[in-house]
C-alpha cells in the first residue's frame, strides 16, 4: 500500500478506531467486532506492550481489516510496526527522523501536526495526509479551517477529543479524509470485554460517516 492508496482507503472508511490494547487476547475479538460492525480498520497504538503482537494477530486472522500502528515515536517502533505487518504508521507529532525512516522503509506515514509549519514539512516530503492532533485541544474546527485554507492539496485526519457529537461536523469538511476515534474501542471497554458496546460504537460511527458522504 502506498500513501495515495492509503488516503483513498481512508476517504472510503472515514473513521479510524484508535485502540490501545490492554492485552493481546483482545486483538482477535476486536477485529471480528469491527468487521462485523462494518468498520474494517484499526489504529493500534504503541501505548501498551500488546501493540506489536496485537497488530500481528489482526493481520493474520483478519485479512479484511486495514491495520495501522499509532503512537510511533522512534525508528525502533517503526521497525516493530512494520515487522508486525502494520499497513501504515501514525505519529502524534512531526518527528523528521521518524517520517524520513518510514519513507525509507516505504510504509505510509501520517505525522501529527497542529500548525502550518507541520503541514509544510509534510508537503516538502510529498505526504498527502497528516493527522490533526490533538484536534479539540488545539482549537478544533476553527483552527482546522484556518490552517487548511492555504493548502488545497493536503488532507487531514483529525484525532483527539472527537466524539459522536462532533464527528459529523469534522467529516463535513472537504479537507478531512477521515477522523480518528478513541471512544469506539476504549481501553476500558476492551478490559471489560464489552464487545457488544464496541460494536454499537463502531456501527454508529459508520452511520455518521455515511451521513457525511458527499
Q: Write out the catalytic residue numbers.
A: 43, 131
In the DSSP assignment, the letter for residue 94 is -
C-alpha atoms less than 13 angstroms from C-alpha of 141 in its C-beta half-sphere: 11
Sheet holding 129-132, edge to edge: 112-113, 129-132, 155-158
Pairwise CA distance, residues 159 & 191, whole Å:
22
* DSSP bridge pairs for 18: 43
Pairwise CA distance, residues 75 & 79, whole Å:
6
Q: How many secondary structure helices (H) and strands (E) does the chain include? A: 11, 9
Contact present, 88 and 109 (Cβ < 8 Å) = yes
Pairwise CA distance, residues 27 & 61, whole Å:
9
Amino acid at each position: 500500500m502506498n500513501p495515495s492508496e492509503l488516503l483513498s482507503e481512508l476517504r472510503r472508511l472515514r473513521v479510524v478506531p484508535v485502540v490501545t490494547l490492554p492485552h493481546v487476547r483482545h486483538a482477535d475479538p476486536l477485529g471480528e467486532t469491527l468487521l462485523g460492525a462494518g468498520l474494517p480498520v484499526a489504529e493500534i497504538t504503541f501505548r501498551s506492550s500488546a501493540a506489536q503482537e496485537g497488530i500481528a494477530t489482526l493481520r493474520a486472522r483478519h485479512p479484511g481489516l486495514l491495520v495501522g500502528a499509532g503512537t510511533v515515536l522512534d525508528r525502533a517502533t517503526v521497525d516493530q510496526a512494520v515487522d508486525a505487518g502494520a499497513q501504515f504508521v501514525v505519529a502524534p507529532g512531526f518527528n523528521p527522523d521518524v517520517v524520513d525512516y518510514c519513507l525509507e522503509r516505504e510504509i505510509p506515514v501520517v505525522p501529527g501536526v497542529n500548525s502550518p509549519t507541520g503541514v509544510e514539512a509534510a508537503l516538502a516530503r510529498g505526504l498527502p495526509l497528516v493527522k490533526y492532533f490533538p484536534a479539540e485541544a488545539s482549537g478544533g474546527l476553527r483552527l482546522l479551517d484556518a490552517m487548511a485554507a492555504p493548502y488545497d492539496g493536503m488532507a487531514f485526519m483529525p484525532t483527539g477529543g472527537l466524539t459522536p457529537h462532533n464527528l459529523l461536523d469534522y467529516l463535513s469538511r472537504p479537507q478531512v479524509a477521515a477522523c480518528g476515534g478513541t471512544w469506539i474501542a476504549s481501553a476500558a471497554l476492551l478490559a471489560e470485554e464489552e464487545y457488544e458496546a464496541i460494536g454499537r460504537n463502531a456501527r454508529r460511527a459508520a452511520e455518521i460517516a455515511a451521513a457525511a458522504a458527499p
